[in-house]
Amino acid sequence: MSDLKSISFKYTTKNGKTNPINLSYQLFGQKLHEAPVVLVNHALTGNSTVIGNDGWWNEIIGDGNVIDTNLYTVLAFNIPGNGYDQKTENLIENYKDFTARDIAEIFAISLDHLKITHLFAAIGGSVGGGLAWELAALKPTLIEHLIPVASDWKSTDWLIANCHIQDRILNNSSEPLVDARMHAMSLYRTPESFKEKFDRVLQKDEDIFAVESWLNYHGKTLNDRFQLAAYKMMNQVLKTIDITQGKENFIEVASKIKSNIHIITINTDLFFKADENWATYVDLKTHKDNVAISEIQSIHGHDAFLIEFKQLEAILATVFKHQKVVDINY
């Protein structure tokens, strides 16, 4: 496992609140400044450990994998307040003062601290993809390949509604992490996925349906490893993705992004809908040549980016497998 490092500074949010920030991160693969850098943004309850014994993307990143650690430096930040460093003083209680754009600015400050002026790629799933969009809008020339996976440039009304429900659960339930996780897990999959996995089977030793047992398990597991303040913060970031900042037109903002944009959507995603991503592609393609879209086919919904590794690997190979890795000062 890569050592957890950190960068500390004061940051003033868009609404004018100054906060101490301790941004932890990990590096994998080649030494920093000796190879092209790939920034990997984690999802809602994820973290910076992208590979290794507890790695959540071992199938995609690593020795000889599509994102090959023999060729790239892989950098992963922990979203501030996600609690991965196990230091309660770094949790963020005033979570509503922060937006996804604030997190992108914190990432940008940290990249400057690390003297990283160019990213070969920025990739992330779910909220991590939204943060990649935000970073690209903030720094239009920073990223060579922008790869949002199962994500979007904005939080839709549907997503905002579910984040609002999550926030209510987190602030009112007697078992907030358990209940919020169970609600979220039902959105990360699909009815078809549940039918294939459970098919109304009873868990006889518990006298409940297998799907109920599965939801209970995931609720308890998250409760054992995550912190309430961290979940509130991550949910707030998810709810506030919007590269236009509610002011400008999407095309005006996105057309300024110099990156090659590779949108990866999932046909059954109930969280970040495929239709929204296709609409983004169609709108942007009329103003920008270097934009592409690929669609993962799966019954598993939003979580397919953590399940359908062969499809995802084949899509990513178009970016990573045939690149001439020479110029780290792009």
**Whole-angstrom distance, CA of residue 330 vs CA of residue 6:** 26
**Whole-angstrom distance, CA of residue 259 vs CA of residue 236:** 27
**β-bridge pairing 5-12 and 18-29:** antiparallel
Q: pLDDT-derived band of residue 2, with 50, 70 and 90 as boundaries?
A: low
Look at residue 325 and tell me whether its pLDDT is greater than 60. Answer: no
Provide the CA 158 distance to its chain's centre, in angstroms.
18
Show the domains of the chain with their CATH numbers. 5-154+241-320 (3.40.50.1820), 158-236 (1.10.1740.110)
Question: 309: exposed, middle or buried (C-beta count within 10 Å: 0-12, 13-18, 19+)?
Answer: middle
Look at residue 326 and tell me whether its pLDDT is greater than 90. Answer: no
Residues paired with 28 in a beta bridge: 74
Q: Which pLDDT value is given to residue 24?
A: 98
Q: State the average pLDDT for the chain.
A: 95
Question: What pLDDT digit, counting tens, does each position of 207-257 carry?
Answer: 999 999 999 999 999 999 999 999 999 999 999 999 999 887 999 999 999
Question: What pLDDT digit, counting tens, does each position of 277-318 carry?
Answer: 999 999 999 999 999 999 999 999 999 999 999 999 999 999
Q: pLDDT-derived band of residue 10, with 50, 70 and 90 as boundaries?
A: very high
